[in-house]
Amino acid sequence: MESNFRAWTLDRIEENFGLVQVVSLAPLESLLSFDYTATDYQAHYLNQIAQNYLLFGGDDWNEVELENKIISPIIVLSEIDNKQFAYFLERELRITIGNYELSGKVDGMIATGFRRPKQPYFCLNEYKRGTDPNGDPRGQALIAMFVAQQLNANNDPIFGCYIIGRSWYFMALVGKEYAISNVYTCTDDGIFDIFRILKGLRWHIERLIA
């Protein structure tokens, strides 16, 4: 049975694949507590991004506008890309598990590979307008993370993030357990936390693939 990522909710994932939500996971807590202080240039740029969201109607931006005007600029500033792994957009993940052929384009993923993704370690879904969220962005992020975990076929944690307008939530999947962070808001000082966590993501992935 073919099933697109957009069809999945947290409840459906838990019922079909036995995943369980927990309050916290050590890899997620380690990521969220990563220590990094933005440089003066980075701080100025992040403040400008946050102000632009407020000044130019960010809550009504569509998915493409959110991705281009705020999500990718923050990720590019965090200097994720290198010769070992990179941030890829709109790349497909696909796997057959039991009766399901799970597939879908992931809005953003960090994976090993140079020109094309190989092993994914971070999945980002969904860019939703704050005033009109559709579907279950949590479920869509988690199913992509689950597929990434199965494709990697190892015990490494998979990280993720889903975004609803100005609100960012980070996730981790370890074995059958997953956890979701509290909200980080990109229109206040939370944007520095988002940036700090993304800097930490590079550090964590470097150690996973070492």
Encode the chain (210 residues) as per-residue pLDDT tens digits: 868 898 999 999 999 999 999 999 999 999 999 999 999 999 999 999 999 999 999 999 988 999 999 999 999 999 999 999 999 999 999 999 988 999 999 999 999 998 999 999 999 987 766 555 567 889 999 999 999 999 999 999 999 999 999 999 999 999 999 999 999 999 999 999 999 999 999 999 999 998
3-state SS, residue 121: strand
Q: Which residues of 17-119 form beta strands (DSSP E)? A: 20-21, 85-97, 100-112
Q: Give, in degrees to the nearest 5, the angle at Cα 167 between 77 and 70.
A: 30
pTM for the full model? 0.95
pLDDT at 132: 53
Q: Which domain holds residue 157?
A: 2-209
Residue 115 tokens read as: 């020109």
So what's the pLDDT on residue 134? 62
Which residues are CB-contacts of 19 (< 8 A; sequence separation ≥ 6)?
Answer: 13, 142, 146, 173, 176, 177, 178
**Domain harbouring 21, CATH code:** 3.90.1570
Rounded Cα gap, residues 12 and 10, in angstroms: 6
Number of domains in the chain: 1
Three-state SS at 163: strand
Structure tokens at 207: 């150690």
